[in-house]
Amino acid sequence: MRWVYIEDIVGHSGREVEVRGWIYNKRSSGKVRFLLVRDGTGLLQGTMYSTEKDAPLFLTFDALTQESSVIVRGKVREEKRAPGGYELEISDIEIVQIARDYPITPKEHSTPFLMDHRHLWLRSQKQHAVLRVRAEVVKAIRDFFDGRGFRLMDTPILTPSACEGTTTLFETEYFDQKAYLSQSGQLYNEATAMAFGKVYCFGPTFRAERSKTRKHLIEFWMVEPEVAFATLEDVTELGEDLVLSIIERVLGKRRAELETLERDPKPLERVQKPFPRLKYEEILPRLQEKGSTVKSGDDFGAPEEAILSELYDVPVCVSHFPAAIKAFYMQPAPGRPDLALGVDFIASEGYGEIIGGGQRIHDLALLEQRIQEHKLPREAYEWYLDLRKYGSVPHSGFGLGVERTVSWMCGIKHIRETIPFPRLLYRIYP
Ligand code: 4AD
Ligand code: MG
């Protein structure tokens, strides 16, 4: 008998098949027994009929518990009332293992309890849907860059220097030297961009964030394109296209998951190009009018992001921040050296900053000065300075956080559910 996955069952109507999975639920109704089996790709209803309550198949049914592993065999039948529109007329059940006292029952559980059982929680429908959306987002990102001729460059995770400020660095030993877990692949990508023109890296990044929020992970995944000769405006457009292509893919291929999550697709459907472009100095008074206590020169935080979501029902691009609050590598604005040519994309509906990036300093003397001002150890950046000595060109890029993007797509308020095993301030288990 042919082993099929539930998501492929459509093509097997009328055939005898085998499904391998786990018991999600069961119920009986008179002479019929219903099993809900999950196999990782979907849920399938199995039915058994008998006039005798101790028919062998019914006895096996009675022994089954939530999350017991089974191989069920039977004939596929179209059934409008069943989840997915098909059911299996079960003729045989092979028990692989009986699960005893599965801890996550259909009742409500507290978040700490679920987080302690994350390794099992992943099996429940909502978590399953979120992670399928995540996989689609990752695929959409790769297809987007590969389709535009960007080269994938895997930048190192163990690094000798900081990219995004020294306060969130994770330090580790590298034999007899100090090393840090990468906060961003950007600096290395500036080198690969000068070698390959347009590149992207895609990998895990680490920040020792001391604040406990719904939007911060300690370990998160970031995709970072970098383009030689590109300006702030060029990469802002690139970011818009990327965000649109992710939304299009999720709406096109993961509608069922969004439904499971009760995610209203309308806020995603209305996102169009161009996104509103706001300069820091222009938007500041509007934020203050709406009750923000942010002062000129301050960075935006969660309250400002929330107000921006009230003002706009689509993502916005905020640029021209005070240079003082931005990273050392940011190119100053022409005629306004106090402003940086950086851009942040703030997602709609309060999901916060999903993209941060901008134009990089390409002038050697200015970059040397910034490294000094930021008290960074010059020796660790010699190679980075070389890029400004040998064929330096204006160049730009950005980083998009995968988990924040998935939160937004799924309408999930807490980022911890968007990665299989979240690393949080007070949690490294499981
Ligand atoms: O704005 P950030 O810090 O930018 C950079 O790291 C640049 N070096 C990227 C570049 O230009 N190549 O981070 C970029 C994005 C943020 O907009 C956010 O989506 C995500 O990474 N991010 C986090 N996501 C989850 N948890 C955290 N602690 C995050 N920190 C940043
Ligand atoms: Mg940022």
For residue 77, the cross-strand partners are: 87
Tell how far CA 9 is from the center of its chain. Answer: 29
Nearest to 384 by CA among 181, 131, 162: 162
Same structural domain, 270 and 360: yes
The reply to whether ligand 1 has any atom less than 6 angstroms from the CB of 403 is yes
Residue 222 Cα to ligand 1 middle (Å) = 7
pLDDT in tens, 117-151: 999 999 999 999 999 999 999 999 999 999 999 99
Same structural domain, 221 and 326: yes
Q: Is residue 102 part of a domain?
A: no
Q: What percent of the chain has pLDDT over 70?
A: 100
Same structural domain, 51 and 123: no
280 in Cβ contact with 322 (< 8 Å)? yes
Helix, strand, coil shares, percent, the chain, to 5: 35, 30, 35
The reply to whether ligand 1 has any atom less than 6 angstroms from the CB of 359 is no
Strand extents, DSSP E, 98-230: 151-152, 158-159, 171-174, 177-181, 198-206, 219-228
Q: Is residue 249 part of a domain?
A: yes
Taking CA atoms, 161 is separated from 73, 165, 200, 207, 375, in Å, by 57, 10, 20, 13, 12
Q: Is residue 83 part of a domain?
A: yes
Residue type, 184: S
| Chosen domain end from 47, 62, 97 | 97
Same structural domain, 130 and 198: yes
163 in Cβ contact with 399 (< 8 Å)? no
Q: Output the CA torsion sign for 118, 349, 292, 332.
A: positive
- Which-ligand-closest: CA of 164? 1
- Identify the CATH number of the domain in which residue 68 sits: 2.40.50.140
| Chosen domain end from 44, 62, 97 | 97
Q: Is residue 425 part of a domain?
A: no
| Chosen domain end from 97, 128, 154 | 97
- The tally of domains found in the chain comes to 2
- Please list the ranges in the chain whose pLDDT falls under 50: none
- Which-ligand-closest: CA of 188? 1
The reply to whether ligand 1 has any atom less than 6 angstroms from the CB of 184 is yes
Same structural domain, 89 and 123: no
Rounded Cα distance, 367 and 381, in Å: 10
For residue 399, the cross-strand partners are: 356
Q: Is residue 427 part of a domain?
A: no
Rounded Cα distance, 165 and 380, in Å: 14
pLDDT score, position 308: 96
Rounded Cα distance, 315 and 90, in Å: 49
Helix (H) or strand (E) holding 113: helix 111-116
Contacts of 354 (CB under 8 A, 6+ apart): 243, 315, 345, 346, 347, 400, 401, 404, 405, 408
Q: Is residue 428 part of a domain?
A: no
Q: Where are the alpha helices (DSSP H) in 254-321?
A: 255-260, 266-269, 280-289, 302-311
Same structural domain, 51 and 134: no
Give the three-state DSSP class for 398. strand
Rounded Cα distance, 328 and 379, in Å: 16
Same structural domain, 125 and 84: no
pLDDT score, position 381: 94
Q: Is residue 331 part of a domain?
A: yes
Which of 404, 417, 424 is the best mutation target for the ligand 1 pocket, counting ligand atoms within 8 Å of the beta carbon and taking the most?
A: 404
Tell me the residue range of the domain where 75 lies.
Answer: 2-97
Rounded Cα distance, 321 and 316, in Å: 14
Give the three-state DSSP class for 256. helix
Same structural domain, 271 and 384: yes
Cα angle, residue 38 at apex, residues 34 and 39 outer, rounded to 5°: 140
383 in Cβ contact with 367 (< 8 Å)? no
Cα angle, residue 405 at apex, residues 399 and 410 outer, rounded to 5°: 175
The reply to whether ligand 1 has any atom less than 6 angstroms from the CB of 422 is no
Rounded Cα distance, 140 and 138, in Å: 5
pLDDT score, position 93: 98
Show the tokens assigned to 27. 């119920």
Same structural domain, 315 and 370: yes
Same structural domain, 53 and 125: no
Q: Output the CA torsion sign for 299, 277, 246, 200.
A: negative
Helix (H) or strand (E) holding 129: helix 125-147
The reply to whether ligand 1 has any atom less than 6 angstroms from the CB of 309 is no
pLDDT score, position 109: 96
Which of 220, 242, 246, 424 is the best mutation target for the ligand 1 pocket, counting ligand atoms within 8 Å of the beta carbon and taking the most?
A: 220
Same structural domain, 241 and 134: yes
Rounded Cα distance, 20 and 94, in Å: 9
- Identify the CATH number of the domain in which residue 369 sits: 3.30.930.10
pLDDT score, position 163: 80
Rounded Cα distance, 12 and 15, in Å: 5
Q: Is residue 151 part of a domain?
A: yes
Same structural domain, 162 and 25: no
Residue 274 Cα to ligand 2 middle (Å) = 21
pLDDT score, position 212: 87
Q: Which pTM does this prediction carry?
A: 0.97
Residue 248 Cα to ligand 2 middle (Å) = 24
